[in-house]
């Protein structure tokens, strides 16, 4: 890989992802290539539904690695993300081993001697046996490496971000009772964010920053082609053109790639040959998720279909 | 090329992209992976490693295009200038080598300095390299102001060996006038190339400093007296301030483990272990959401300060979502909706047409407020009054202010006038001040930032 020319390597990434049904732009492919080469996480930002999470899945499928997903939410903490002690098991074992403990400590004459003997056991109850690994620790313990997806990092608290820093820069975590655990094979880390809040500079600094916006018309057609093979070329052009027109409107939530794909599936199901006003009006709720948005778009439908068709002729 | 990258990082800082040493190391590593051969890939790589947001990506993309477009015009510059002499050259050279003697044309060539030889041989690559070397020797990346253009051009030309070239020219003028003529033309071309390089350097490296200087002046300029052309810049500055305050205060900090043990939650959490408290839960400190009522004087000179203040407070959505704004001069109206729905310009114009330009009457305005909006005030509300407290000798109605103060969490008075003027003439400031939690002067953007920052901080 190292002596391969970078541009061919990037193309290889592109075609590898394409084989998994993920059509990547050049920039995305470069980011994936670089993250592999310099072992840095990728921070993916962009509107909802442009395929940020899909990217991680595609990478995992392409490289044949396991994907470990950590969904972030407000209040997520160490115990749920990193590791937790198996309290119940610890308690159970102390109960079971009670007699054994008594035996061991039986020889001791004084309290002091008993304590000394107890110390010689070391931290039996705080050993790896009793650690319940959560996604982050699991990711570090995968022998063949894995793809770690930290989804919607912007939803988590600022404290959690700081927790991630050690993992992101050195691929290791420090557990107070066990010491530092390093990754067996550095995982490929993908973080996604919807820019709900600004992430800290420290986190951003450790990542490659990739912004995925709405794709260009050609790229989006290719995406639909790979995801919904049953759709005719003519209809595909029209519907993607239509969606691009819709995106010029000032809406609360613009339709993104996932909506495009859903709509393509719906159109195939309805066995549409080409876009017509009635059908579009009936299925507009697939594209637009707010009542106000639908109302804003409805009067424009006919114009947009005409525009999309015209674009089709010339483009 | 490493040198080039370093200069690119400096240029990137110039356009406002934050490049720390660690980031530059990462970028270097990434670039060493992809190499310099493919410009698009290089561009993507640098954007990925250095830029941290979409805005930064755009800025850095432009910067990249400007920076790496540099070598090309530079190479063409001598080429264009040299093309003309080149034709002369073809005409001149053969006769000179045939007609006179080989020795006479060969000898001066050897005695010439390296720069003159380079210029005469039209070695474009060597020239470009020499120019780049001289630029870094003259530390062109330190250029800050447009007035420094001359001195940097001189430094670069000196570093390239202009002195020697002049001597050569003087010598040649006597011995070989046609060659001297060619050399002079080439020198003019070189000067032009140097001038372009310096301009480019100025565009790349000086932006940061100039911007900082301008902002610094702007921050400390009295808001009431800024010129119309600076209003837009000031708005930008206010937006920057708003962004900074948002970043600082929008992340709620948990105040845990400060108070007392939360017995109920502790017991519930530890039910699985028979109530033995393995995990403790602590009472959390309750934080108020910021609630702000802003009452702004929009008469005369205070209007501009109010304008910027309202812009600032209404750009802090993430931090303070509960803002009610009122504007008054002779009577008082609520302006929150106008400010929310319109652009700053249009909103201010509408407000001014409704209540502006009157002579200020604090008494009746406070009466209006007490009559209609007193119910807005809760013990969590901070009331901010912005005004010079000059009530044209009318009844100040300080008693209403007292009631406002009693009903709210804090009452902050921001006065654009200097402390010295308080209490003189028709200023009622001392009388009002007794009921205020804080009274501060607020004439510049910097004071405005501090005032708002302190107000928001009381809710953290």
Report the DSSP pairing between strands B291-297 and B322-328: parallel
- Partners of residue B34 in chain A, C-beta under 8 Å: 6, 30, 33-34
**What are the CA-CA distances from residue B132 to residues A54, B80, B140 (Å)?**
46, 19, 10
**What are the CA-CA distances from residue B239 to residues B303, B316, B327, B344 (Å)?**
18, 9, 21, 12
* Average model confidence (pLDDT) across chain A: 85
Q: Report CB contact under 8 Å: B48, A31.
A: yes
Check pLDDT > 90 for residue A69.
Answer: yes
What is the reported pLDDT for B83?
Answer: 41
Contact A217, A244 (CB under 8 A): yes
User: If you count them, how many residues does chain A have?
Assistant: 315
Q: How sure is the predictor about A66, in pLDDT bands with cuts at 50, 70 and 90? A: very high
- Tokens 């937790």 correspond to A84
Mark residue B300 as left, alpha or beta (left: phi above 0; alpha: psi -120 to 50; beta: remaining).
Answer: left
Angle between helices B2-14 and B177-205 (to 10 degrees): 50
Contact B238, B308 (CB under 8 A): yes
Tell me the residues of B at the A interface, defined by beta carbons under 8 Å apart: 18, 20, 22-23, 26, 29-30, 33-35, 37-38, 40-41, 44-45, 47-49, 51-54, 57, 246-247, 250-251, 253-254, 272-273, 278, 318
- What are residue B157's DSSP bridge partners? none
d(CA A67, CA B60): 33
What is the reported pLDDT for A70?
Answer: 92
Q: Cα-flanking dihedrals φ and ψ of residue A146, to 5°?
A: -160, 175
Q: How sure is the predictor about A42, in pLDDT bands with cuts at 50, 70 and 90? A: very high
* Average model confidence (pLDDT) across chain B: 78
Check pLDDT > 60 for residue A135.
Answer: yes
Once rounded to an integer, what is the mean pLDDT over residues B172-188?
83
d(CA A294, CA A303): 15
| B427-441 per-position pLDDT tens digit | 888 889 899 988 988
More reliable by pLDDT, B218 or A181: A181
Calculate the CA dihedral of residues B210, B216, B220, B223 and round it to 10 degrees.
60
Check pLDDT > 90 for residue B211.
Answer: no
Contact B446, B220 (CB under 8 A): yes
How far is the alpha carbon of B284 from chain A, nearest alpha carbon, in Å?
14
Low-confidence winner among A58-62, A90-94, B11-15 (lowest mean pLDDT): B11-15
Angle between helices A257-269 and A217-227 (to 10 degrees): 50
- Partners of residue B30 in chain A, C-beta under 8 Å: 34, 37-38, 208
Once rounded to an integer, what is the mean pLDDT over residues A291-302?
87
Angle between helices B71-98 and B54-69 (to 10 degrees): 0
How far is the alpha carbon of B245 from chain A, nearest alpha carbon, in Å?
12
- What are residue B382's DSSP bridge partners? B292, B410
Q: How sure is the predictor about A314, in pLDDT bands with cuts at 50, 70 and 90? A: low
Once rounded to an integer, what is the mean pLDDT over residues B302-315?
81
Report pTM.
0.64
**What are the CA-CA distances from residue A94 to residues A117, A123, B368, B391 (Å)?**
16, 13, 73, 79
Percent of chain A beyond pLDDT 70? 96
User: What SS3 state is found at A70?
Assistant: strand
d(CA A39, CA B401): 62
Of B29, B52, B247, the CB nearest to A38: B29
Check pLDDT > 90 for residue B206.
Answer: no
User: What SS3 state is found at A69?
Assistant: strand
What is the reported pLDDT for B318?
Answer: 65
d(CA A312, CA A309): 5
User: What SS3 state is found at A132?
Assistant: strand
Check pLDDT > 50 for residue A221.
Answer: yes
- Partners of residue B254 in chain A, C-beta under 8 Å: 157, 159
d(CA B356, CA B49): 51
Q: Report CB contact under 8 Å: B272, A87.
A: yes
Contact A153, A196 (CB under 8 A): no
User: What SS3 state is found at A30?
Assistant: helix
Both tokens of B346, joined, read 């249009």
Cα A99–A102–A104 angle (5° rounding)?
110
Residue A208's H or E segment, with its range, is strand A208-211
Q: Which residues contact A113 (CB under 8 A, 6 or more apart)?
A: none
Both tokens of B149, joined, read 């253009």
Residue B327's H or E segment, with its range, is strand B322-328
Burial of A158 (0-12, 13-18, 19+ CB in 10 A): middle
Residue A34 sits at the chain B interface (C-beta within 8 Å): yes
Q: How sure is the predictor about A68, in pLDDT bands with cuts at 50, 70 and 90? A: very high
């Amino acid at each position: 890989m190292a002596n391969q020319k970078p541009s061919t390597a990037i193309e290889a990434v592109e075609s590898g992802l394409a084989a998994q049904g993920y059509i990547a732009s050049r920039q995305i492919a470069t980011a994936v290539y670089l993250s592999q080469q310099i072992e840095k996480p990728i921070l993916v930002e962009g509107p909802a539904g442009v395929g940020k999470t899909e990217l991680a899945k595609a990478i995992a499928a392409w490289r044949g690695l396991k994907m470990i997903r950590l969904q972030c939410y407000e209040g997520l903490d160490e115990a749920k993300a990193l590791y937790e002690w198996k309290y119940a098991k610890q308690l159970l074992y102390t109960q079971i081993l009670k007699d054994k403990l008594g035996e061991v400590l039986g020889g001791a004459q004084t309290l002091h001697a008993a304590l000394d003997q107890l110390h010689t056991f070391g931290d039996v109850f705080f050993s790896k046996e009793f650690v319940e690994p959560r996604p982050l620790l699991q990711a570090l313990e995968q022998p063949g490496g894995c793809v770690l997806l930290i989804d919607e990092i912007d939803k988590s608290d600022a404290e959690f971000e700081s927790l991630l820093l050690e993992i992101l820069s050195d691929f290791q975590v420090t557990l107070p009772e066990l010491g530092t655990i390093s990754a067996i094979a550095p995982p490929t880390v993908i973080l996604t964010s919807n820019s709900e809040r600004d992430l800290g500079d420290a986190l951003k600094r450790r990542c490659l920053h990739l912004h995925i916006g709405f794709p260009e018309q050609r790229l989006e057609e290719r995406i639909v082609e790979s995801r919904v093979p049953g759709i005719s070329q003519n209809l595909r052009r029209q519907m993607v053109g239509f969606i691009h027109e819709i995106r010029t409107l000032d809406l609360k939530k613009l339709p993104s790639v996932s909506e495009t794909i859903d709509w393509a599936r719906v159109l195939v199901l309805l066995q549409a040959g080409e876009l017509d006003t009635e059908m579009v009006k009936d299925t507009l709720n697939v594209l637009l998720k707010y009542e106000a948005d639908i109302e804003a778009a409805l009067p424009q439908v006919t114009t947009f279909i005409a525009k999309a068709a015209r674009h089709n002729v010339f483009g | 090329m490493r040198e080039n990258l370093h200069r690119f990082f400096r240029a990137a800082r110039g356009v406002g992209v934050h490049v720390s040493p660690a980031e530059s190391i990462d970028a270097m590593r990434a670039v060493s992976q992809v190499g310099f051969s493919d410009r698009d890939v290089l561009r993507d790589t640098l954007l990925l490693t250095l830029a941290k947001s979409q805005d930064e990506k755009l800025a850095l993309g432009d910067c990249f295009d400007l920076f790496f477009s540099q070598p090309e015009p530079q190479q063409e510059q001598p080429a264009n200038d040299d093309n003309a002499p080149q034709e002369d050259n073809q005409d001149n050279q053969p006769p000179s080598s045939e007609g006179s003697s080989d020795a006479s044309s060969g000898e001066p060539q050897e005695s010439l300095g390296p720069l003159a030889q380079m210029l005469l041989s039209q070695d474009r690559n060597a020239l470009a390299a020499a120019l780049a070397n001289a630029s870094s020797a003259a530390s062109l990346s330190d250029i800050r102001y447009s007035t420094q253009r001359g001195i940097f051009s001189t430094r670069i030309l000196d570093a390239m060996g202009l002195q020697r070239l002049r001597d050569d020219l003087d010598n040649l003028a006597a011995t070989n006038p046609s060659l001297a003529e060619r050399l002079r033309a080439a020198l003019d071309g070189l000067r032009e190339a140097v001038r372009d390089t310096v301009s480019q350097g100025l565009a790349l490296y000086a932006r940061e400093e100039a911007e900082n200087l301008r902002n610094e002046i702007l921050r400390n300029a009295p808001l009431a007296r800024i010129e119309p052309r600076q209003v837009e810049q000031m708005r930008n500055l206010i937006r920057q301030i708003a962004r900074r305050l948002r970043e600082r205060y929008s992340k709620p900090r948990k105040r845990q483990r400060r108070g007392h043990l939360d017995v109920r939650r502790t017991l519930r959490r530890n039910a699985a272990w028979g109530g033995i408290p393995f995990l403790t839960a602590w009472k959390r400190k309750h934080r108020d959401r910021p609630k702000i009522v802003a009452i702004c004087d929009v008469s005369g000179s205070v209007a501009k300060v109010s304008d910027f203040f309202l812009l600032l407070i209404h750009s802090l959505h993430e931090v303070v979502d509960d803002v009610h704004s009122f504007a008054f001069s002779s009577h008082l109206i609520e302006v929150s909706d106008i400010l929310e729905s319109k652009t700053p310009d249009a909103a201010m114009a509408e407000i001014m047409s409704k209540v502006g330009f009157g002579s200020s009457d604090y008494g009746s305005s406070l009466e209006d407020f007490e009559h209609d909006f007193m119910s807005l005030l809760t013990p969590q509300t901070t009331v901010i009054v912005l005004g010079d407290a000059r009530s044209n000798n009318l009844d100040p109605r300080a008693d209403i202010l007292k009631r406002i103060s009693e009903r709210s969490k804090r009452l902050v008075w921001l006065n654009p006038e200097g402390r010295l003027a308080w209490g003189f003439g028709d200023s009622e400031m001392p009388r009002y001040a007794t009921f205020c939690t804080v009274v501060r002067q607020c004439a510049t953007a910097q004071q405005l930032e501090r005032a708002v920052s302190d107000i928001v901080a009381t809710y953290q």
